[in-house]
Structure 1
Amino acid sequence: MITNICKTGLVIIGLVVAGTSLMGQLPASDIYLCNVKWNQKNILINKPVLLSSFNADKYNNQPYFEDYQNMYVTSGDSNNKTDIVKLNLFDREYFYLTKTEGISEFSPQLTPDKTSISVVRIEKDGITQTLWSYPLDRSNHGINMLPNLRNVGYHVWIDTKMIALFLVDSLPKLALADIEKGSVSVIQNGIGRCLKCKNGYLFFTVKGEDGRHAVKKYNIRDLSIEEVAVLPEKTEDFEVLTNGNIIFANGGKIKMLNVSTFPPQTSLVCNLEDYGIKNINRLVSERDRIVVVNLKTK
């Protein structure tokens, strides 16, 4: 549990209501940290640690590891307004990176040069969604990196100038943007919200006619697209491990797809249902740590 409260840290302009154009009413959710031990026979897990007690019974989502010790999350209030919060997993402290009236941010990431955070902003009209970067040293009030885009949903960095984007549309689009040139090119229609960049590949999902999401990888070097695996029904989010295997959640269970086999074999990583975690909708990993988001049920 995060117990030491520190709200006087870095404050950057801009907050984004995770607005009606993408998220609608924000569901109450909790974030948990699990320490795992990977070995050849099985995976051991300790009791999950609640990270979001500072914002109990409200929206807490989109965790992102800055490094092994620190992470960013999106936290919302009762008015559907969201801030970016930084958590120190060692000291169990937190502080708000954003706290501004009329605007919300979500989908936080550290920029490749490690000097700023990039976020999706929902502007004051509650509809326009833009991509901004805010310097961690507070040297300015932030920059709209792609001012011609007004429908950014999620993003992931590919390198220092290229970003992959989920563009909100009747049929969501995967686009690549060059922030130096300001150019944007669509490479896939009908994608899911989960974007990952690992080992020289951009991973994303495409929803098939049967309703299941196929995980695909885009080769950044030769621009080819290859299907990796198909996720179970009603599963959209995933994480790519350093060895290329994929983990995903089904209810309160975390499972792994071994992509070195054909077809990929599924195994159980851990079952968190005994801890009351029964509705995982996002997960991220860093070495021996897995952080999950559990949607609360009424």
Structure 2
Amino acid sequence: MNDYIICMDASGDLIREVAADNGIEFVPMEYSLGEEMRTSQGCESEELLKKFYDGQRNGDLTKTSQISPYMYESYFKPFLEKGKSVLYFCLSSGLSSTYQSAMLAAESLKEEYPQGEVYPVDTLAATGGIGLLVEKAVENRKAGMSIRDNLEAVRAVIPKLRHYFMVQDLMYLKRGGRVGAATAIVGSALNIRPMLVVNEEGKLETVDKKRGSKAAMSSLLTFFKENYNPEVDTKIYICDSDTPELAQGLADRIKEAAPEAVIRRTMLSPIIGAHTGPGMVAVILFGK
């Protein structure tokens, strides 16, 4: 039986065509831009995202809020009432409490809807990493895989996910406690670009620093060449927070290095962008 819903956090990035063609559902997430509270429904329009990042550039503070177990229950119930089960891809447990909240909701709903199942997946991923896993799950469902088999199949490839990205505005990392105030001030003055990964525990880790965007883009390309594993998947996500010239330049260089690569270009969700600021570029793929 493969009649089940695939859904993901609005914090994840997925190209619009895949979402629309395969009925992917998004768990809405709240964020603020200045004094205005907003709700992200996933696959935001480019116009909205540009306004968000322009707001950050103009000094608007941005924050996000957590989803409670009750909110998850309210979201999943309509699917269960229709007799559907749910395979849910959520933001890494190393970055957020969403997975724990979703698990509590799933346990609570078991009693009321014994015929349906909710399976949260701790992706240990963010942004396009969640998108890559959702695309895998879509392929598995099309192949007739049951929800439980699909769950195990996507869990098996999670350790192969690789995220590598650079940020341009260190002050956003400072606000999130990722770097100290002195590091942020000195780094900004020296045009330093921190290079970060999502490690095997699903947490952010700074692994390098580059002077300027050109060196940072070369580092992203080197990371791609050293990690790209087309035997697992040829799809690659390049996600940016409104820096299209850098992202497209990286995409062109990757396509030149690996012509068979299927490159997914997306703008970064405001849920993650609230913590990285404008000018971030990420390359996300399945590695060796």
TM-score higher than 0.5: no
Higher helix share: 2
TM-score normalised over the length of structure 1: 0.29
- The structure with higher relative contact order (CA 8 Å, sep 6+) is 2
